[in-house]
Structure 1
Amino acid sequence: MTTSEPLRLTPAERRFLAALRERASHGKRTGARWRKLAVRVVRELHHEHAGRAGDHELPPRLLLRTLKRLQAAEEISFVAGSDQEKVELPQHIRVFVPPVTPLDRPAMPPLHARMSRVAAEWNQKGRKPHQLAAYIAVNDWLLRGPDPTPLPMCERSLEVFGHPAHLGHFPEPEKALRDLNFGWLFRDRGQLRDFLHLVRAEPPLLNEWYPAKPQERGYTAMRRGDILLVVENYTTCWSLTKALTSVDHRLGYLAWGIGKSFASSVRSIRPDHGIGAIRYFGDLDVSGLTIPVRAGDQARAAGLPPIVPVTELYDALFRLGTPLPGKEAVSPAKAEELAAWLPERHRARAVGLLVRGERLAQEWVNLRYLESATGWHTDVR
């Protein structure tokens, strides 16, 4: 007689389960117990942890499939009753919240001199394990003797929290600093900027135009040539804008694609924009490759130039990036289909990433690299 192996949750499912537990235990006592959550809250958490920028509401069938897998893993249970929608979801679920034990609190490591104030907070009542883990990550970063060149928050966050030792608490390390707000270091945002040498990088206004002069910043119109370069995430778009002020380039436009939105917004390109080539740079994961593939289909239908990858920037991403857990894995056949958009020299590595369910965040190609390296300049000429 054989016993079946326990159901193995995907990294995305584990993150969603952690979010359910966090919300279910908020403000409650720490003993192990089953706690109830309304379907409205479950929907919000699922969209937050399974969606991406530019997504509209995720289809209920995806949520139902995930909930059934968590139920099969005996991590949640359904409460009787449904929401009476076309795809019926339970009105409530119960989430098993394990007890918080002393072992969950990590030991205080030897502290860098700049982190000495952490000692007074370590055993503070109410301090949570993931908050202590944030201090450990910053401490580890300081002990590595980092380059203090100022970087945007997402790029610095990836440097600090993108080490494998910290991914259990920070599965999307490029977003960690944005979400932390506690204690002497993370609550005061001005102090945090000074401490971690951050520069402010704000998303551009979509209708904003700046001439491409060295003393001015440019998001949308560079006015030097006929190339449109689209970048998936706004931090990398900002860093490219700053780096391009000293580069002899042929860009007519540099655009923030707003995640999946580019697959639709590409059709807004008009003949009077004078665009002769469209180039794209995004994350290396399932979504990051699906975006340009779908946008390319739309571009062909509209009679626009093909959407091609920026070869040197993807070279840099493979060279500089550390693979992180992704939101989904795909079959080898699907991975090869998506990777076919990339230059041939990148395809095998991309297929390996996608099949393993890993990703490379484009923020690894940060401002420091863009201002010091020159190889990527061929992508904008």
Structure 2
Amino acid sequence: MSGSGLSSLAAAMESAVQDAPGVRVQTDVLIRAATAIDHSGPGSPDWRARVAGAIEELVAAGLVECPRTKAGWDRRTLPELPHWVRRSAPPVAAPRMTAKPWHHLLHWVPTVDSERRLSSAERGLLDAVNRWLPAADQVPVVPMRERSWGLLGDDKALEKLRSGRLFVPGRLTLELLRCRSTWPPVQQRVLGAGTWLIVENWSTFESLCTAAEADGFDGRIIFGSGNQVGTRLAALADKGDTPASPVLYFGDIDVGGIRAARLAVTTAQGAGWPAIRPCRPLYELALASPHRLRVQPASADTVSWTTAWIAGELGQQVAMCLTRGEAVRQEAVGLEILGPAPFAALVADV
């Protein structure tokens, strides 16, 4: 990764975007910039996926925007690539906080703002806390989302800001804000200190637990609960329960399943966990199912992310299902399918 946090390919593309004379930059220009730093890339089978992933990095960083219509995309080969990208307008810098009397527990705020301007969300929280602190010793300790609602009128705002610079040592804490993190109980089966496997649906969770116990699996299986996976992983992180090795994920092959996987990846990054990777053997078993459901095709962004995350031929196959509007539920990998194979082989990080 470059100093900007971008991969080398994305950094080369960013330079090409900045050097381009117009706002709209053709994808061919980006590919030439990437090829200039990786001469062997165009000959490798995953080159298109790597190009798509680099463009996605630029989008995620707010540096470029992709076309919003189908006509703006090359859909002949997966992953889809935009015909062009548009350079994003530079963000308007937030004004620095004006001089004001800060509560003595917030004496550090002007220094932080002078180092790098605070965002409007950060300023909003600090202003609210500054008003609230004088009477803080009179209030009870409440769940974090209740305090967030009372301070900001948004139950999840504090949760989002908690992973940022305002909550590093010596600044804000949940104790100072008289609140505590509260999460639903995490359903998991801890069989040992080895691999962690997150499973989207309950039926598959139960079947995998049964197979794992029967085969002496030395790891942990966690019920992700679909879109609730973020709160499940946050609950584990808040308890200091941290995996020692890469975490594997297995979910539905459809838009919802990929959305949950993406949320799991983002939550793990915020918690400082090892990377969450797809459990390739289980996804391969799911794709072997003869059944497909017809669903709404996935967006180009979802297909691109999936191709980069799963990678290789398997990533191409899953992306093709998403593009065609074909879904495979993870219940396709039921207990009867799991039975014959050694469980450790089914959760190998390959």
TM-score per shorter chain, which class? 0.3 to 0.5
TM superposition score normalised by structure 2: 0.43
Q: TM-score, normalised by structure 1?
A: 0.40
